[in-house]
Structure 1
């Protein structure tokens, strides 16, 4: 992409594009993307956001539970996003779908969201954290009756179309992706000869 619009790829899409840039076939590209999505920080996040709701349990436990995590510097699963600094628009849409279902899990989720934002404003002023797509995605998939171990495969099935589009776009470019890296290890015991 030669224009000045900078997009940030998620890990699985970037993985698929790197593999495509080597000239590998579509199966290899999609297999690599699935491997990246299998990581708990990527595709595994919705079930972990639900685990947070399970750990809290009831509305009266929200405040103490969240305060303890924030003061310990722990991450609160389902909150914050590496790109979206404001509310994730996908989260807003999924919240509406969850509210359409209603029920105790949705009531708890909405109250957790409200209190997390309130407690963060108090304990970490200036550091806003909003729900990300995983928070309400987990709630909605649970209410649809999907077993938690199927959350990531369901996300995977939905992402294959996007991965494929990215693979085709990348395959049209004949250059291999070579990310830059800077060595930050110990100084070598002897000078390394300059590349000739």
Structure 2
């Protein structure tokens, strides 16, 4: 509610009260856009929110648990998790993946676009995952919703996806770089009318539920999380006593 209100205030629009009768996702869309969402849009956003509530020890979740282990309160743990989450390699990825799709424009440009980015040493947003070596199952779910919602964007996304995967296989042999959740998350949110600058806040709206569960679990363990580190720099110029 706070995020939606801040978005509308920045845009010069009055905040809106939640609509419990529309469900969590429908109410979120209402508070952002001021329009009662179509049932299929509320269903698609519901699927997105549920699929991204938690995802193991992601960077932001680990951050929340580390802060909690130090005895800090819930607000501190959530704020720390949000700071990690804001990074472009984590929760800040969906809008950047859609920006890339906009840059590509047409499927016939996809391979050339990928080659240019790979040659420049840049990441291809929306592809590759630190854990999955196949297509992210959340991406597969959201692709189904994107196709069901239809339209030129969904058609472009499906065609570009295949071109990018084949180009990455050619340019990075031996690497398993498949579609991740951010690629179709951006497509679905755009189809449902969520403003692009609210993609990451929408993602966080779901993930804060998972952070909360991890924070509660971590409070049961009184030990502070302190990973070990091994120094691998140059040796000291003189032996230490």
User: What's the counterpart of residue 139 of structure 2?
Assistant: 91
User: What's the counterpart of residue 219 of structure 2?
Assistant: 171
User: What's the counterpart of residue 157 of structure 2?
Assistant: 109
Residue number among 157, 160, 169 corresponding to 2:205 in the alignment: 157
In structure 2, list runs of 5 or more residues that go unmatched.
1-54
CA distance in 1, matches of 2:80, 2:215: 11
Deviates more, 1:77-86 or 1:31-40: 31-40
Q: Assess if the C-alpha contact under 8 Å between 2:114 and 2:168 holds in 1.
A: no
Q: Assess if the C-alpha contact under 8 Å between 2:68 and 2:219 holds in 1.
A: yes
CA distance in 2, matches of 1:75, 1:101: 28
CA distance in 1, matches of 2:136, 2:63: 23
In structure 1, list runs of 5 or more residues that go unmatched.
1-6
CA distance in 2, matches of 1:163, 1:48: 23
CA distance in 2, matches of 1:79, 1:152: 17
User: What's the counterpart of residue 34 of structure 1?
Assistant: 82
Q: Assess if the C-alpha contact under 8 Å between 1:49 and 1:138 holds in 2.
A: yes
> Shift of the alpha carbon at 1:107?
1.1
**TM-score between the two structures when normalised by the length of structure 1:** 0.89
> Shift of the alpha carbon at 1:24?
1.0
Q: Assess if the C-alpha contact under 8 Å between 1:99 and 1:106 holds in 2.
A: yes
CA distance in 2, matches of 1:119, 1:82: 19
> Shift of the alpha carbon at 1:183?
1.6
Cα shift readout 1:162-190 (whole Å, capped 9, x = no counterpart): 10110011110011000111122332233
CA distance in 1, matches of 2:135, 2:209: 25
User: What's the counterpart of residue 58 of structure 2?
Assistant: 10
Cα shift readout 1:113-161 (whole Å, capped 9, x = no counterpart): 1111222333333323110000000110111111111111111111111
SS of the aligned residue for 1:176 comes to coil
User: What's the counterpart of residue 172 of structure 2?
Assistant: 124
Q: CA RMSD in A?
A: 1.7
Q: Relative contact order (C-alpha < 8 Å, sep 6+): which is higher?
A: 1
